[in-house]
Amino acid sequence: MKSKGKKSNMAAEQTLVLIKPDGLIKGLTGNILTALSDAGLIIVGSKVVQVTRELAEEHYQHLREEKFFDELINYIMGEYHVKRILALVYHGENAIKKVRKVVGATNPEEAEPTSIRGKYGRITTKGVFENVVHASENPKEAEREIKLWFRPSELVHTIYPTETKKITKSEVFWK
């Protein structure tokens, strides 16, 4: 249904972006963040992560049956480039679609030439889509992924319910 001149009351979304190991090793972080700033969203969390096999397999669980799965896990773990990624959470209205638009299609050869993947992605001779960034596909996936990669305390603003639990555990402090 179309609403005439009425402002959308859509709630703000959050979406997970990962600058993948190829993006980091190629020094594309600045270019990628600049391109993403066109979406007019705000960053509510960011961190550098060394991706474990467990995290990689959980993140890409929906692709477990694909023939490229093992290569994909190696790729995101940094086996071909560098063993880290930059994880970010973007927040704002329609954040998921806006970021996917700037990021471009999964296959870098099919991505808009002006999109991040169109500009910087490639397909290796082994058939891995080295497409420089990950971006959540839909609200359900965004929630699952943000909760997988970040704790509530690592975000300056949360949109999913949280609870406070008392825990006793050892933590590392500066000496």
Q: Which residues bind ligand IDP (CB under 6 A)?
A: 63, 68, 72, 106, 127-129, 131, 134, 137
Stretch that binds Mg ion, among 78-86, 87-95, 118-126, 131-139 (CB under 5 A): 131-139
Residue 128, contacted partner among ligand IDP, Mg ion, none, CB below 5-8 A by kind? ligand IDP
CB of 128 to ligand IDP, least distance (A): 5
Q: Which residue is nearest to ligand IDP (CB)?
A: 106
CB of 6 to Mg ion, least distance (A): 32
Do 133 and 18 meet the contact criterion of CB atoms below 8 Å apart?
yes
Residues sharing a CB contact under 8 Å with residue 123, sequence separation 6 or more, in sequence order = 107, 108, 109, 129, 130
Query: Does the footprint of Mg ion cover residue 143 (CB under 5 A)?
Result: no
Can 59 be counted among the known catalytic residues?
A: no
Give dist(CA 77, CA 85) in Å, integer: 8
Which is catalytic among the residues 59, 62, 134, 157?
134
Residue with Cβ nearer Mg ion (16 or 24): 16
Residue choice 57, 71, 112, 137 for contact with Mg ion (CB under 5 A):
137
Stretch that binds Mg ion, among 13-21, 43-51, 130-138, 146-154 (CB under 5 A): 130-138
Residues annotated catalytic, as ranges:
134
